[in-house]
């Protein structure tokens, strides 16, 4: 707890700032009919606010005052007549308690085809626990809705917002350019299924900063077609860590390149930094990846490359992964492993990992140097590396 508390104080000063701001807002959702009682359907008022803002030829804003606002699935479509829409949320947006209402929607709140939108503040309560219970039973359940999806958009900022208890993924960035997320809190139960914190795919120039993420799945997952992704100052836990993949879902698949994960704390997570691919043919790739300045606190699998990924252990492809993994650097990674093997490189026999670099890595298990296993991995280890590299 001392490590975590210190990390929060150093890397999360924004949590202690006054969130009030003297900004004049031109579209107040309450003035447009929204009811801050958490029960009345406010969807129409939000749609009207967006239509007004998107139709304005001048920069404009939307304001959500304090209170609780019940929303069904809503889509905010672009392109708009201006590229400077500021959405300030001082209240809480509440999804339907009955998971069936939005459970078959791809997203609860979708921004599609927008340019120059900033969403600041607010709590997004996905009310996902009912669907989680359904999925953990023998019932037939909907797949669930992502809480916030940014799709085919550019120049979008998500700032200082909180996402709670999403049915599925909390935040998805899909087919976008120049997206910045900062000061986010993403929270769900550690046993909630498929509640990834932030998922990025088919997108470039994405930045994720100064955020705390704890869910039942990956804190951050990085899908095919991601390039120029910068992740810095992250507290992750509970969850499955930060993962590139899973990849090789398809034979024709875009690669992942130029990803930096810097200054992160993983606390009691299933994994730390992970690259995962199914054991099947694919033309995908992973290259130019940097994991740097990372603390592991009792993490089950701190450093993982798994090219035989098959979480259910049923109907596994059982073939050699076609994904080519190269130029992955692990630098200044310290802390404790919850298992004896802290480093696992299980690479493809037909496409071995190459250019793996380990520098100043020190991981312990029960006050002893942890172990490492390598298969079909090549690279170098420099400086102090404990466990001893098997590259």
Q: What is the pLDDT of residues 249-279, one digit of tens each?
A: 999 999 999 999 999 999 999 999 999 999 9
Provide the token pair at 269: 């997570």
- Out of 199, 240, 334, 376, the active site residue is 240
pLDDT tens for 197-218 read: 999 999 999 999 999 999 999 9
pLDDT of the residue at 13? 35
Write out the H or E segment, with its range, that includes residue 154: strand 154-159
Instruction: Report which secondary-structure segment, H or E, holds 129.
Output: helix 129-135
Q: How far apart are the first and last CA of the chain?
A: 34
Q: Is the pLDDT of residue 3 over 50?
A: no
Is the pLDDT at 367 greater than 60, yes or no? Answer: yes
- For 390, other C-beta atoms within 10 Å of its C-beta total 15
- pLDDT of 25 reads 59
240 is catalytic: yes
How many Å apart are CA 113 and CA 154, to the nearest integer? 8
Task: Tell me what the mean pLDDT of segment 361-370 comes to.
Answer: 96
Q: Provide the residue ranges of all domains of the chain, joining segments of one domain with +.
A: 27-178, 218-390
Confidence of residue 2 (pLDDT cuts 50, 70, 90): very low
Cα 189 from Cα 52, distance rounded (Å)? 37
pLDDT value at position 138? 80
pLDDT at 24 over 60: no
Q: Identify the architecture of domain 27-178 in CATH.
A: 3 Solenoid (2.160)
Cα three-residue angle 229-8-297, rounded to 5 degrees:
80
Q: What is the pLDDT of residues 221-246, one digit of tens each?
A: 999 999 999 999 999 999 999 999 99
**From residue 285, how far is each of 136, 193, 289, 352 by CA, in Å?**
34, 27, 11, 12
CATH dotted code for 218-390: 2.160.20.10
Same fold, 27-178 and 218-390: yes
Q: Which H or E run contains 49?
A: helix 43-55
Mean pLDDT in residue range 81-91: 97
The pLDDT assigned to 17 comes to: 33
In which residue are the tokens 């078959």 written?
104
């Amino acid at each position: 707890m001392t490590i975590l508390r210190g990390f929060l104080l150093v890397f999360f000063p924004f949590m202690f700032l006054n969130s009030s701001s003297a900004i004049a807002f031109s579209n107040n959702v309450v003035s447009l009919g929204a009811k801050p009682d958490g029960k009345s359907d406010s969807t129409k008022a939000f749609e009207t606010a967006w239509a007004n803002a998107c139709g304005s030829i001048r920069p404009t804003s939307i304001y959500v005052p304090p209170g609780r606002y019940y929303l069904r699935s809503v889509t905010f479509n672009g392109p708009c007549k201006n590229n400077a829409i500021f959405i300030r949320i001082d209240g809480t947006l509440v999804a339907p308690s009955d998971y069936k209402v939005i459970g078959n929607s791809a997203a609860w709140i979708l921004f599609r085809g927008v340019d120059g939108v900033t969403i600041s503040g607010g709590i997004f309560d996905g009310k996902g626990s009912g669907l989680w219970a359904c999925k953990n039973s023998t019932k037939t359940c909907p797949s669930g809705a992502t809480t916030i999806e940014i799709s085919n958009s550019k120049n979008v900022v998500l700032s200082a917002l909180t996402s709670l208890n999403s049915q599925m993924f909390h935040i998805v960035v899909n087919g976008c350019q120049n997206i910045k997320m900062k000061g986010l809190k993403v929270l769900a139960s550690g046993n909630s299924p498929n509640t990834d914190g932030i998922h990025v795919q088919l997108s470039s120039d994405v930045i994720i900063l100064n955020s705390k993420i704890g869910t039942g799945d990956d804190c951050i997952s990085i899908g095919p077609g991601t390039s120029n992704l910068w992740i810095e100052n992250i507290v992750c836990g509970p969850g499955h860590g930060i993962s590139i993949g899973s990849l090789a879902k398809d034979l024709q698949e875009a690669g992942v390149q130029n990803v930096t994960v810097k200054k992160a704390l993983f606390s009691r997570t299933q994994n730390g930094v992970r690259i995962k691919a199914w054991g099947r043919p694919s033309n995908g790739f992973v290259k130019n990846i940097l994991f740097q300045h990372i603390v592991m606190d009792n993490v089950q699998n701190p450093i993982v490359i798994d090219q035989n990924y098959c979480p259910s252990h049923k109907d596994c492809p059982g073939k050699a992964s076609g994904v080519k993994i190269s130029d992955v650097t692990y630098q200044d990674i310290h802390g404790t492993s919850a298992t004896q093997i802290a480093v696992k490189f299980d690479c493809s026999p037909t496409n071995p990992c190459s250019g793996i670099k380990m520098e100043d890595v020190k991981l312990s298990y029960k006050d002893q140097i942890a172990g490492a296993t390598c298969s079909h991995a090549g690279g170098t280890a420099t400086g102090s590396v404990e466990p001893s590299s098997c590259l």
